[in-house]
């Protein structure tokens, strides 16, 4: 009999074989595994079923192993994202620093405001990560800086034009990214 880790590794390799499987079959298989995993988690956390502590532990381990089947990213995806983020930061760092540090408020950011905003941002991001909630570091930091500006000299200390531009960027990010990823997928799908 195969161990659970061996089975997970074998399943991942089966999913990766696109030549012998249709994409729709792989998608359905992954959805079924995710549904089973969700049901296992419901059993572990639910009180309707009386499970022994050893059964709960075994189900938790099974759930963690099943998560490895569907919740992973290939190395090339991680590398591509890292390179894109690195290049984006390399190219646009000055604009980001000027907007965050000098344009959110009507005065330059002082050390106390910067430290306060960074502590709040780090705490918020840390808590969100621990709870599994998605947050944008830029959104959290710029909101922290706006809060520090308001705390120092009131709401009149905020630069309304910059805040309007940031809010517009936040609103437009989702539809623009959806459209771009759709177009990129269609283009790549033609060649792959």
Geometric angle at alpha carbon 83, from 167 and 96, rounded to 5°: 30
Q: Are 11 and 69 in contact (CB under 8 A)?
A: yes
**pLDDT tens for the 192 residues of the chain, in order:** 456 666 666 666 666 655 555 667 777 888 888 888 888 888 888 777 777 888 888 888 888 888 877 777 788 899 999 999 999 989 988 888 888 888 898 888 889 999 999 999 999 999 999 998 999 888 899 999 999 999 988 888 899 999 999 899 889 999 999 999 999 999 988 877
- Would you state the structure tokens that stand for residue 65, as one six-digit string? 């192993």
> Helix, strand or coil for residue 158?
strand
Q: Are 136 and 167 in contact (CB under 8 A)?
A: no
Tokens 């759930």, residue located: 63
Instruction: Identify any residues that bridge with 158 across adjacent strands, giving them in sequence order.
Output: 105
């Amino acid at each position: 009999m195969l161990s659970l880790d061996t089975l997970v590794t074998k399943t991942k390799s089966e999913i990766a074989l696109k030549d012998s499987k249709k994409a729709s079959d792989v998608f359905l298989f992954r959805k079924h595994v995710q549904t089973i995993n969700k049901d296992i988690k419901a059993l572990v956390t639910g009180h309707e079923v009386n499970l022994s502590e050893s059964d709960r532990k075994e189900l938790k381990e099974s759930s963690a192993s099943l998560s490895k089947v569907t919740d992973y990213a290939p190395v090339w995806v991680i590398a591509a994202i890292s390179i894109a983020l690195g290049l984006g930061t390399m190219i646009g760092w000055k604009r980001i620093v000027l907007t965050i540090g000098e344009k959110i408020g009507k005065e330059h950011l002082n050390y106390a405001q910067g430290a306060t905003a960074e502590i709040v941002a780090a705490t918020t991001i840390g808590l969100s990560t621990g709870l599994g909630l998605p947050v944008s570091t830029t959104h959290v930091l710029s909101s922290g800086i706006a809060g520090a500006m308001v705390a120092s000299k009131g709401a009149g200390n905020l630069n309304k034009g910059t805040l309007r531009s940031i809010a517009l960027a936040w609103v437009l990010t989702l539809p623009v990214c959806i459209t771009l990823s759709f177009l990129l997928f269609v283009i790549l799908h033609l060649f792959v």
